[in-house]
Amino acid sequence: MSEKIKNILSQENFSKVDLAALLAAGEEDRKLVFAKAAEIKQAYVGNKVYYRGLIEFSNLCGKNCLYCGIRAGNKKARRYEVTEEEVLEAARYAWENKFGSLVLQAGERSGKDYVRRIERLLRQIKKMSNGELGITISLGEQSEETYRRWFEAGAHRYLLRIEVSNPDLYHRYHPKNKVHDYQTRLQSLFLLKKIGYQVGTGVMIGLPFQTVEDLAMDLLFFREHDIDMVGMGPYIEHEDTPMYRYKDQLLPKVDRFYLSLKMVAVLRILMKDINIAAATAMQAIDPMGREKAIKVGANIIMPNLTPSRYREDYLLYEDKPCTDEDAEECKRCLEARIHMAGGEIGYGEWGDSKHFEKRKKT
């Protein structure tokens, strides 16, 4: 094994070049990176894994990100919206099964009615669970007022992936117009923090034209913006999207998977006390993908609670896992898998980011 990797891992601070070297680690060297990350995880956040029951509320979307299977321009996508009753039913399931928190995710939409509907739903979930369910939302870019209303209605965490922190690359993966503007997305992260949300962001890994140096910069971006939580996973091509034309230039899926695992591990080494999610897209490549992510640094998992009849229509990418399982089945198999990965489930706990708690105090 290489001395170079060992030396980097013994440092306290990491440059872009160091991080890129860790991300480029080969089969033997990456074991060192994984072991270091596991050690840091144990010391700073322990082996608890927190559940966030995921409800993919709707695949209606006003945007056209060039990589995404539910982009507005994909006329083949069958559009749905989960009914209010069904959301509440899934939320009740999460609450009764001591999941601690929910994530409500959907395509990006705007409009007064929509904002009000989400607000009402948030209040209903809070009321139904006596305020016990924590709520994360991931509903794209919104105005400051909307973010504030949803915060006041009970959402306390927000996930908004920057997708790629390099503005030039960002504009290659998005249509060039003002609804797909890097600065606006970045500004959203500041607004969310100002309002008081725990803020999560993330990137896709293995995009065409992306290098390990770009990924190293993504990691430094998370640190520079003092992010509380990160969710990131491999980019997976989808046939009915413009970016599919680059499919032959991508790394093989298994390499994208290991690159993603290294990103999780290196991020844990860099930001010791944040929450890191084991992304669903990891499981799309490797059936044990999320558990492997937990072993090397992740501490959050998002079991899918979207009612089964909608699941196969929330296809952000190919081979999305668990589209044919119901919640009960998912829960049992997940519990066993997490135990196998040395984790313990934090039932009934919110499992807020320790980093956020510290940030609030200072």
Residues that bind ligand SF4 (CB under 6 A): 61, 63, 65, 68, 70-71, 107-108, 140
CB of 317 to ligand SAH, least distance (A): 4
Q: Which is nearer to ligand SAH, 41 or 320 (CB)?
A: 320
The minimum distance between CB 109 and ligand SAH, in angstroms, equals: 9
Minimum distance from CB of 196 to ligand SF4 (Å)?
A: 24
- Output the smallest distance, CB 59 to ligand SAH, in A: 9
| Residues near 181 by beta carbon (within 8 Å), at least 6 away in sequence | none
Left (φ > 0), alpha (ψ -120 to 50) or beta: where does 342 sit? left
- Tell the smallest beta-carbon distance from residue 231 to ligand SAH (Å): 8
Least Å from the CB of residue 8 to ligand SAH: 28
Output 44 or 244, the one with its CB closest to ligand SF4.
244
Q: How many residues does the chain have?
A: 362
- DSSP element (H, E) containing 13: none
Name the residue nearer to ligand SAH (CB basis): 8 or 82: 82
Kindly tell me the sign of the dihedral angle through the C-alpha atoms of 334, 337, 338, 344.
positive
69 versus 134: smaller Cβ distance to ligand SAH = 69
Select the binding partner of residue 30 from ligand SAH, ligand SF4, none (C-beta < 5 to 8 A, by kind).
Answer: none
Asked whether the CA dihedral 170, 175, 178, 180 is positive or negative, the reply is: negative
Q: Which does 160 bind (CB under 5 to 8 A by kind): ligand SF4, ligand SAH, none?
A: ligand SAH
Helix or strand holding residue 276 (H, E): strand 275-278
Rounded to a whole number of angstroms, the minimum distance from the CB of residue 302 to ligand SAH is 11
- Which tokens go with 69? 């299977």
Do the beta carbons of residue 307 and residue 86 sit within 8 Å?
A: yes
**Rounded least distance, CB 247 to ligand SAH, Å:** 11
Residue 355's binding partner out of ligand SF4, ligand SAH, none, with CB under 5 to 8 Å set by partner kind: none
What is the token pair recorded at 104?
Answer: 């409500």
Sign of CA dihedral 77, 83, 84, 86: negative
Beta bridge partners of 198: 157
- With CB cut-offs between 5 and 8 Å by kind, which of ligand SF4, ligand SAH, none does residue 71 bind? ligand SF4
| Binding at 204: pick from ligand SAH, ligand SF4, none (beta carbon under 5-8 Å per type) | ligand SAH
Residue 205: how many CA atoms within 13 Å on its side-chain side? 29
* Residue entry with tokens 């990965």: 341
Calculate the CA 159 to chain-centre distance: 7
The SS3 call for residue 20 is helix
The 3-class secondary structure across 57-115, one letter per residue, is EECCCCCCCCCCCCCCCCCCCCCCECCHHHHHHHHHHHHHCCCCEEEEEECCCCCHHHH
Nearer to ligand SF4, 33 or 281 (CB): 281
Chain center to CA of 361: 25
Binds 238: which of ligand SF4, ligand SAH, none (CB < 5-8 Å by kind): ligand SAH
Residue 274 vs 315, nearer CB to ligand SAH: 315
| Partner touching 236 among ligand SF4, ligand SAH, none, CB below 5 to 8 Å by kind | ligand SAH
Q: Which does 281 bind (CB under 5 to 8 A by kind): ligand SAH, ligand SF4, none?
A: ligand SAH
Q: Give the binding site for ligand SAH (CB under 6 A).
A: 67-68, 105, 107-108, 138, 140, 160-161, 163, 204, 235-236, 238, 281, 316-317
Closest CB to ligand SAH among 21 and 87?
Answer: 87
- In angstroms and rounded to an integer, the radius of gyration of the C-alpha atoms of the chain is 19
Minimum separation from the CB atom of position 191 to ligand SAH (A): 14
Pick the closer one to ligand SF4 by CB: 161 or 292: 161
Distance CA 355, CA 17 (A): 25
- Tokens describing residue 246: 């680059």
Taking the chain, what is the end-to-end CA distance rounded to the nearest angstrom? 41
Please say which residue, 68 or 162, places its beta carbon nearer to ligand SF4.
68
* Residue 34 backbone dihedrals phi, psi, to 5 degrees: -65, -40
